[in-house]
Amino acid sequence: MKKSGNALQRKPVRIRYIVQAAFFVLVAVTATVSALNEKGIIIPFFKGVSLHGICPFGGVVSFYQLFTIGTLTKKVHESSVVLAVIGLLSALLMGPVICGWICPFGTFQQWLSGIGKRLFGRKYNTFVPRKLDRVLRFLRYGVLAWVLYMTAITGKLIFQDYDPYYALFNFWTGDVAVTGYIALALVILLSLFVERPFCKYACPFGALLGIFNLFRIFGIRRNAPTCISCKACNRACPMNIDVMAGKAVKDHQCITCFECTSEAACPVPATVEMTALPAITKDHEREGGAK
């Protein structure tokens, strides 16, 4: 019975893994077909398919040009704008679900973390000192500001030349800049020591979506009275968030992966779970802090 209960608890998290794999395959196929189309090799039913057309961040960086002169940034499709709006609305509702469930590059880093965990065991994802880590986590907001500014003044996808995500799915096409290959190599190397290093320190889209964690409608909430202070939720979090620090997780790095919840890591039912989040003051958060 115990095993059956554990199996049921893990079910939502396993569904996430399936969804992640499905989107990874979808993006890989799209990138391949797009590259073949550019070489004149047309695949039936896939004519006009483009990796840029399914990238919501392309829509985000096009907002300024779209609202000022009514056109899209070069290479960006109308579908990207639609996906960008959907992504922002979903973040308002449930936080960065795109990061935790859909983004194929986040999934890629997650898979690499499996190698790191085998190499270093419990030491994995603890190598960066906390004080340094807190500073590094704000670098991605600098990247976001730079990308938005440069894209606005040039009308081009500036970040493409530095984007490890683009490099991963186009490494064989010859359309990737040297800086993109370097960025991808760095992410692969760092992923053996730090879980989701690009998501934590450099992803501009993740930075934007992370802001919604401060006022999202549904989020991860900890039930302090039933919490046994085992810190299983903290250890399970790929983003190194101190889940036990308050009644609700409002950290800008949460990716809504559910790894910390009672459906996955927490051994006590209905203690860490997704629920509607009321406005929580700092005083209330301190009351619900770690015991």
Q: What is the pLDDT along the chain (291 residues), one digit of tens a residue?
A: 344 444 444 556 689 999 999 999 999 999 988 888 777 777 777 777 788 889 999 999 999 999 999 988 888 889 999 999 999 999 999 999 999 999 999 999 999 999 999 999 999 999 999 999 999 999 999 999 999 999 999 999 999 999 999 999 999 888 899 999 999 999 999 999 999 999 999 999 999 999 999 999 999 999 999 999 999 999 999 999 999 988 899 999 999 999 999 989 999 999 999 998 764 444 344 433 333
Nearest of 181, 175, 177 to residue 38 by alpha carbon: 175
Q: Is 44 left (phi over 0), alpha (psi -120 to 50) or beta?
A: beta
Q: What pLDDT shows up at residue 204?
A: 98
User: d(Cα 37, Cα 24) in Å, to the nearest integer?
Assistant: 20
**Other Cβ atoms closer than 10 A to 22:** 13
Nearest of 219, 228, 240 to residue 266 by alpha carbon: 228
8 A C-beta contact, residue 201 and residue 136: yes
Angle at 141 (CA atoms; ends 248, 95), nearest 5 degrees: 35
- Which helix (DSSP H) or strand (DSSP E) does residue 148 occupy? helix 139-154
Strand partners, 91: none
Q: Which three-class secondary structure state does DSSP give residue 177?
A: coil
User: d(Cα 58, Cα 232) in Å, to the nearest integer?
Assistant: 37
The pTM for the full model equals 0.88
User: d(Cα 148, Cα 150) in Å, to the nearest integer?
Assistant: 6
**Other Cβ atoms closer than 10 A to 238:** 21
User: d(Cα 107, Cα 273) in Å, to the nearest integer?
Assistant: 22
Q: Token pair 């194929």 is at which residue? A: 104
Q: Which two tokens stand for residue 69?
A: 């002169």
Q: Is 256 left (phi over 0), alpha (psi -120 to 50) or beta?
A: left
Domains and CATH numbers, the chain: 2-211 (no CATH), 217-287 (3.30.70)
8 A C-beta contact, residue 34 and residue 44: no
Q: What are phi and psi of 222, to 5 degrees?
A: -105, 130
Q: What are phi and psi of 248, to 5 degrees?
A: -140, 150
Q: What pLDDT shows up at residue 12?
A: 61
In the chain, the amino acid numbered 61 is V
